[in-house]
Amino acid sequence: MKRNIIPYSLFIALLFGCISCNKFLDREPETALTQQQVYSKLENIEPLLSGLLTNWRDIHKDRGGFVFQLGTDETQQGAYQVMTDPDQSALDKYGSYLAASNNALTGQWNPRWPIVSAAAQAVFALENLKDSSNGGKRKELLGEASFIRAAMMFELTQYWGRIPIIDAAKLNELGTGRQPLKDIYTQITTDLTTAVEDLPETQADKKNITKYAALSLLGKVYLYAPDSSGFRDFNKAAGYFKQVIDSHKYQLVANFADLFDPSKPNSTESIYEFQFNNVYPDNNQIQWQMGSRALANIDGNCYFGGYDLLVPTKYCYSDKKDGGIWETGDVRKDASIRYDFTYHDSIHPTIPAGFGGDELDPHVKKYEDPRTQGVLSFWYSGKDVFYLRYADILLNYAECLNELGNTADAVAIVNDQVRKRAFGGTLPDADRWSASMSQEEFRTQILDERMRELCFEGWRRMDLIRSGKFVDLIKARNKWAKESGTIQTYNELYPIPLTEILQNSDIPDTDQNPGYNH
Amino acid sequence: MNGHDIFDLRVDAYANAYMDKNPDADRQDYINRYLLSDSSIAFGAYELAAYRNGDSYDWLDRVTRTGFKQNHTISFSGGTEKGTYLVSLNYTDQNGLMQKSDYQRYSGRVNLEQNVKSWLKIGTHTTFSKTTENVVDGSVFSAALGANPLLAIDTTDLAYLKWSDIKNQDQYNPLLSLNILNKQYLTRVLSSNYISVTPVKDLVLRSTFSIDNMDQQQYKYVPAHTGQDLRNSYHGSAEHYKSETLNLQWDNTATYDLHMGAHRLNLLGGMSIQKNTSNYNDIQAHGFPNDDFGYKFLNGAYSKDQTVLASDFVTTSLMSFYARADYNYDQKYFATATVRYDGSSKFGPDHKWGTFPSIAVAWDMAKEDFMNDFNWVNQFKIKAGYGIAGNQNIHNYAMYSLYRPTTTNGQFVYVSDGRLGNPDLQWERQKQLNLGVDMSYLNNRLNASFDYFKINNSNLLMNKTLSTVTGFTNTVANVGELTNKGVEFSLDYAILKGTGLNWNVNFSISSSKNKVTALYADVDAIYNKGGYTGVEIQPTGNLFLGQPVNSIYLYKFKKIAQASDMDQIKNVDYGGRTIHPGDIIPEDLDGNNIIDDNDRTVVGTLDPKYYGGFGTTLSYKGWAFNAFFNYSEGGKRISYLYNSLIGSTGMSAASDDLLNRWTPENTNTLIPRVAYGESVYSYGNVDLGVQDASFIRLATCTFSYTFSSKLRPSFLDNLRLYISGTNLLLWTKDKGFDPETGDDYPNSKSIVVGLNLAF
């Protein structure tokens, strides 16, 4: 009998194993939340949206943040960069250089969609949480999610035209195919209207979105929407801009250079700026892309060193008398562009062998971060980056007035606010725009004024597209586009990336943007 | 290429690029004025000086050496009818091929088996090992390999290597990188312990408990003066990484043996549960007042805001129930049937379990009476089998979309890891058919076997990239079907067998072919994206319907353009490239005069057509010699190293093959001309850059002498001296380091001298 105890107990153990086997095979992640956990309650949706704001910020940093600024009449890539990366150089050369397989562009398309999609999921989840005890918080989060989706889609549709619409309530109906422009702009304006209604007027945490950021963007959407969408509406745009102006919450800072002083972030002129600092992962690496290699070669911790991804075109850095844009006395010139590369008062860099040749031509200055000088690599540059700036809204508003036939008031805004500040607080009579300027003349002048005020801040490509001067101005002013001479009107839109067409069965290769389909 | 050739290559590359843009210019004048003069735009002053002095520097030679290894083993074994034992200890000490790399290992083994009672047996197989390793930073070899031969080696204060006056931020000075400390420890205990009970005759109940415990520690210190450090402004970085994996497995089986005359039936039933846990923690601290303490004193780190802390804990579990019936009649007819019921924690609630049956039969014809006249045939066993196996080898928690908190600007936020969870995941099924025959002849002196197999994998578990419009970048899915069929043949023949000269030869060959036969929905390709931007379609890792799994996807090389071709290709759109004589042109497969992704195609497969080995052993009295070769034929390989060396324009390390590059005087060549900064097709873009990875290798070769009892001291049971070499000879057309191991590490040959003693 005794010798049977062991086998019996073995069988009992076996049986016990059987009963608990399904439980034994349940293994939940111990260090992550599942999708269901995240979207099921407000306390989790809030940090999720906060994460989306971070992701949105992060696509504006480093090399990727400036891909759309390549190939404009304002900026072009440095000569050494053009020689070393064919896909990137295609963004300045256009024509058949620019193809659906362009990886630099795919690298911009791909990270944007997960943000759109997660924002759409959040909108859907928040609408289903109507019974939530914290109605105020729910509303604010809904406004924020709507804003994120709208901001991303606005940028995507400006550059790629017809794009998919992500609405978690209508996933099966919409699929992942390209939608008509009318539907896209309907979605964007609806989202922004929700955001305007639901978001607070101010936010203590500057990372969060305010009602006025939503109003500003809504105005921009009506101004920048292509005619073919049926949404371009100067009246509506002016109305939204006016609400921002009349709120008196914003004003231009007196000294233009203060806008780019790292010790003065989130000024009264800032409607929304991306929050960065000098500590990874919250640094922005932008100076690494903007600075001069000639300085990087001398000292890796020189705050104006870098690798010449993006440099101003000759048109953008030259004085008016030399065929450029700058007028004597305009303080924005030296605050925006670096002309002098003398280091430590005594080192005069030269262009070493093997370089591209333009390393000591004028460079972008707006992203220089003197806090890194001598202690940190310029890779740690981390000043805030403007998204919506009051001066931009004023200029946009003036444009609307001009388009609505009120050129005199438009000129007044430009003179009395933007240009007055640009000339140090007093605008010399010689530099005043004439109130009797024609509507067409204003259109031409405002494009240059926007470059002087807003250069390198990311609006130039859209400004060129909506003004219809994309091909002419880029061909005349961008060194590489001029050299290749291949830019055409169809280049106003980028090609839908090849990998998207290959992997998204709702976008067949026949649905490529015109000009890119062979 | 040495310094002199690199110099000439760069001159040619600059001059060609200049002439492309200025076709009417005076080439020699440009060279003299802009390239060779002291104010050269192409060469730094140090390069001009090295060239004029005829200097060339071999960086790789400075960081490598001849390694040395010693290995000692001592073991004891014995037993009585009550039990047996084996105890052994081993010590290995090795200095690696790279300067400052070394490796030590202590290991031990204990095997015990004891008959406690007539019906009760216990036993253990336990091994223990402790490894200590100094690992050289991975950049040392690649940087030294890619170093500029015109750059003097004794520039230890140069953080980055340079070409011309361009410091390459990605090419750290390998001599400085040798100062990076990277110490790794690995402790492993593997122990399998059983208790076996025989309650009645022929019934055995056995319970086995196994533990596999692995503890890993890695300590790293990057000193303040290295490029790795300067680039990140860390002022010294220390890292402690510790991980533990623990796999526990408990198997319980009951077997019953049934004999009835010539019938023999063995029945087995059992269950197994397995739990695998792993965890790690990682601490990275930056900013040290000096480099003196290395990684040992984290307290000293002052850049607290740059500190990185990380950890994770993962548990997976598996459970199986199985039964097997094993039958044979007189060792003549054989049949085996099994069924497994496996559950895995990696699948969702409705898909955890899979059932996997198999059956096999065999017939040894040599045992039949009608074969009695053929007594030189010892075995002629015909086998057939069919079964289904399961695979659950995927990322943990792939059924969930996961979100993790991370901090930014002092707040915590939730961020998706990009993977779309797939709750419908299920077991991959592998249906396998085997046919074969095992043969033995001439008193088992000649053994041969032949096997055919056909495997059909369905519900293939794959990581697939997604259109990001879905909101995610990738997902794990059961995506399709794959067939793999092949044959294997092996032969072993003792040509001479006796007390004098013994001679044995062996040979084996295998050949298999696989094909993707289905993907999901109407999709005919799944792409592998990667590269610098992470979004480029890679040459390998894609799945194409109707093609082998390991296909290579590139443009087909058409020819090197000649002056006479210019007229014909002037209307072809080469994606913005301007083709000049001497440039590579790809085939326009769809004939639309536009070279784009539609012209990429499968140009080969990484898998060999056939492979195997052959060898021989010769022995005479105490002398013995053996040699073994392995071979592979028909496989392709992409050598990123060679493609980089052959794509050089004199601004990076270059292959000597570029001496035969296209020039107006040397047009009959497959090496394109060089042009600095021009966009042209490179070796890596077309199938010219695909290596023929076929090879024959003398893998091992040993010569030994065993002293006979008369010659050795009487207290020794065995005394053997040997010299043995591995990887001594290699025949291949592959241009990289090694067709089998790739290009990441120097290919090593080794020679071992050894002594075996037994008491």
Query: Is the pLDDT score of A10 beyond 60?
Result: no
Distance of CA A162 to the CA centre of its chain: 19
Q: Does B415 touch chain A (CB under 8 A)?
A: yes
The pLDDT-based confidence of B412 (bands split at 50, 70, 90) is confident
Residue B302: CA count within 13 A, CB half-sphere: 7
- The answer to the question of residue A491 being in a domain is yes
Partners of B676 on chain A (C-beta within 8 Å) are: 83
The pLDDT-based confidence of A328 (bands split at 50, 70, 90) is very high
Q: Does B40 touch chain A (CB under 8 A)?
A: yes
Query: Is the pLDDT score of A341 beyond 70?
Result: yes
Residue-range definition of the domain harbouring residue A135: 35-271+387-511
Q: How high is the mean pLDDT of chain A? A: 93
Q: Which amino acid is at B510?
A: S
A301-318 burial, b if ≥16 CB within 10 A, otherwise e? bbbbbbbbbbbbbbbbbe
Query: Is the pLDDT score of A14 beyond 60?
Result: no
Q: Does A33 touch chain B (CB under 8 A)?
A: yes
Residue where one domain finishes, among candidates B565, B584, B605: B605
Looking at the fold, whether B216 and B306 belong to one and the same domain comes out as: yes
**Angle at which helices A460-467 and A470-477 pack, to 10 degrees?**
130
Q: Which string of DSSP letters, residue by residue, matches A123-171?
A: HHHHHTTTT-S-HHHHHHHHHHHHHHHHHHHHHHHHHHSS-----GGGH
Query: Is the pLDDT score of A3 beyond 80?
Result: no
Nearest CB to A103: which of B43, B305, B535? Answer: B535
The pLDDT-based confidence of A4 (bands split at 50, 70, 90) is low
The pLDDT-based confidence of A16 (bands split at 50, 70, 90) is low
Pairwise CB contact (< 8 Å): B252 & A10: yes
Residue B375's pLDDT is what? Answer: 86
B231-240 burial, b if ≥16 CB within 10 A, otherwise e? bbbbbbbbbb
- Residues near B604 by Cβ (< 8 Å), separated by ≥ 6? B551, B552, B636, B687, B690
The 3-state DSSP class for residue B612 equals strand
Query: How does pLDDT run across A247-278, given as a tens digit for each residue?
Result: 999 999 999 999 999 999 999 999 999 999 99
Partners of A112 on chain B (C-beta within 8 Å) are: 468
- The answer to the question of residue B186 being in a domain is yes
- The answer to the question of residue A209 being in a domain is yes
> The tokens 């999609």 sit on which residue?
A117
- The answer to the question of residue A484 being in a domain is yes
Q: Does A498 touch chain B (CB under 8 A)?
A: yes
Looking at the fold, whether B239 and B216 belong to one and the same domain comes out as: yes
Residues B125 and B113: their CA atoms lie apart, in Å, by: 9
- The answer to the question of residue B530 being in a domain is no
By DSSP bridging, strand B68-80 and strand B83-95 are antiparallel
Residue B583's pLDDT is what? Answer: 95
Residue A52's pLDDT is what? Answer: 95
Partners of A302 on chain B (C-beta within 8 Å) are: none
Looking at the fold, whether B117 and B193 belong to one and the same domain comes out as: no
Query: Is the pLDDT score of A97 beyond 90?
Result: no
- The answer to the question of residue B226 being in a domain is yes
Mean pLDDT of B246-269: 95
- Residues near B269 by Cβ (< 8 Å), separated by ≥ 6? B253, B254, B322, B323, B324
CATH at residue A55: 1.25.40.390
Nearest to B518 by CA among B541, B478, B543, B545: B545
**E strands, A294-375, in order:** 310-312, 337-338, 363-364
- The answer to the question of residue A320 being in a domain is no
Partners of B273 on chain A (C-beta within 8 Å) are: 17, 21, 24
Query: How does pLDDT run across B506-533, given as a tens digit for each residue?
Result: 999 999 999 999 988 778 888 888 877 7
Residue A5's pLDDT is what? Answer: 57
Give the CA radius of gyration of chain A: 26
Query: How does pLDDT run across B614-635, given as a tens digit for each residue?
Result: 999 999 988 999 999 999 999 9
Looking at the fold, whether B601 and B624 belong to one and the same domain comes out as: no
Q: Which string of DSSP letters, residue by residue, matches A377-428?
A: -GGG----EEEEEHHHHHHHHHHHHHHTT-HHHHHHHIIIIIIHHHTTT---
Looking at the fold, whether B739 and B625 belong to one and the same domain comes out as: yes
Pair of tokens at residue B689:
């850059």
Partners of A22 on chain B (C-beta within 8 Å) are: 343, 349, 352
- The answer to the question of residue A100 being in a domain is yes
Residue in B closest to A373 by C-alpha:
B233
Mean pLDDT of A104-121: 95
Residue A316's pLDDT is what? Answer: 98
Pairwise CB contact (< 8 Å): A34 & B596: no
Nearest CB to B319: which of A25, A30, A118? Answer: A25
- The answer to the question of residue B228 being in a domain is yes
DSSP A497: P
Mean pLDDT of B245-258: 96
Residues B381 and B358: their CA atoms lie apart, in Å, by: 19
List the beta bridge partners of residue B343: B319, B353
Looking at the fold, whether B187 and B247 belong to one and the same domain comes out as: yes
Residue A420's pLDDT is what? Answer: 98
Residue window 71-100, chain B: list those with CB within 8 Å of chain A.
none
Q: How many domains does chain B have?
A: 4
- The answer to the question of residue A427 being in a domain is yes
List the beta bridge partners of residue B220: B182, B239
Q: How high is the mean pLDDT of chain B? A: 93
Residue B524's pLDDT is what? Answer: 85
Residue B754's pLDDT is what? Answer: 87
Q: Which amino acid is at A401?
A: L
Residue A135's pLDDT is what? Answer: 84
- The answer to the question of residue B435 being in a domain is no
Looking at the fold, whether B301 and B243 belong to one and the same domain comes out as: yes
Residue where one domain finishes, among candidates B271, B297, B313: B313
Q: Which amino acid is at B71?
A: N
In angstroms, the separation between the Cα of residue B313 and the nearest Cα of chain A is 7
Q: How many domains does chain A have?
A: 1
The 3-state DSSP class for residue B416 equals strand
CB atoms within 10 A of CB A62: 16
Nearest to B510 by CA among B330, B390, B339, B632: B632
Partners of A282 on chain B (C-beta within 8 Å) are: 408-409
CATH at residue B122: 2.20.25
Residues B619 and B85: their CA atoms lie apart, in Å, by: 32
Looking at the fold, whether B99 and B237 belong to one and the same domain comes out as: no
- The answer to the question of residue B394 being in a domain is no
The pLDDT-based confidence of A6 (bands split at 50, 70, 90) is low
The pLDDT-based confidence of A1 (bands split at 50, 70, 90) is very low
Residues A80 and B164: their CA atoms lie apart, in Å, by: 13
Residue-range definition of the domain harbouring residue B562: 557-605
Residue B411's pLDDT is what? Answer: 83
Nearest CB to B533: which of A104, A116, A277? Answer: A104
- The answer to the question of residue B563 being in a domain is yes
The pLDDT-based confidence of B361 (bands split at 50, 70, 90) is very high
Query: How does pLDDT run across B111-134, given as a tens digit for each residue?
Result: 999 999 999 999 999 999 999 999
> The tokens 């069924």 sit on which residue?
B339
Give the CA radius of gyration of chain B: 32
- Residues near B362 by Cβ (< 8 Å), separated by ≥ 6? B333, B334, B335, B381, B382, B383, B384
Looking at the fold, whether B737 and B618 belong to one and the same domain comes out as: yes
Q: Which residue has the higher pLDDT, A411 or A22?
A: A411
Looking at the fold, whether B253 and B125 belong to one and the same domain comes out as: no
Q: Does A56 touch chain B (CB under 8 A)?
A: no
Query: How does pLDDT run across A353-407, given as a tens digit for each residue?
Result: 888 899 999 999 999 999 999 999 999 999 999 999 999 999 999 999 999 999 9
Looking at the fold, whether B709 and B583 belong to one and the same domain comes out as: no
Residue window 529-568, chain B: list those with CB within 8 Å of chain A.
529, 531-537
Q: Does B618 touch chain A (CB under 8 A)?
A: no
- Residues near B262 by Cβ (< 8 Å), separated by ≥ 6? B329, B330
Mean pLDDT of B379-394: 95
Pair of tokens at residue A269:
């002129």
Q: What's the Cα-to-Cα distance from A224 to each of A155, A157, A181, A239, rounded to whole Å?
A: 10, 11, 13, 15
- The answer to the question of residue B232 being in a domain is yes
> The tokens 């080898």 sit on which residue?
B393
Q: Does B248 touch chain A (CB under 8 A)?
A: no
- The answer to the question of residue A350 being in a domain is no
Residues A315 and A478: their CA atoms lie apart, in Å, by: 8
Query: How does pLDDT run across A182-204, given as a tens digit for each residue?
Result: 999 999 999 999 999 999 999 99
Partners of A104 on chain B (C-beta within 8 Å) are: 533
Pair of tokens at residue B726:
């591995």
Are B380 and B371 a contacting pair, CB within 8 Å? yes
Per cent of chain A over pLDDT 70 is: 96
Query: Is the pLDDT score of A308 beyond 90?
Result: yes
Pairwise CB contact (< 8 Å): B316 & A27: yes
Cross-sheet strand order for the sheet of A33-34 = A33-34, B402-408, B411-416
Query: Is the pLDDT score of A2 beyond 80?
Result: no
Looking at the fold, whether B688 and B706 belong to one and the same domain comes out as: yes
Mean pLDDT of A209-233: 98
- The answer to the question of residue A406 being in a domain is yes
Residue A20's pLDDT is what? Answer: 64
Pairwise CB contact (< 8 Å): B313 & A30: yes
Query: How does pLDDT run across A46-81, given as a tens digit for each residue?
Result: 999 999 999 999 999 999 999 999 999 999 999 999
Q: What's the Cα-to-Cα distance from A40 to each of B160, B264, B365, B411, rounded to whole Å?
A: 51, 61, 68, 21
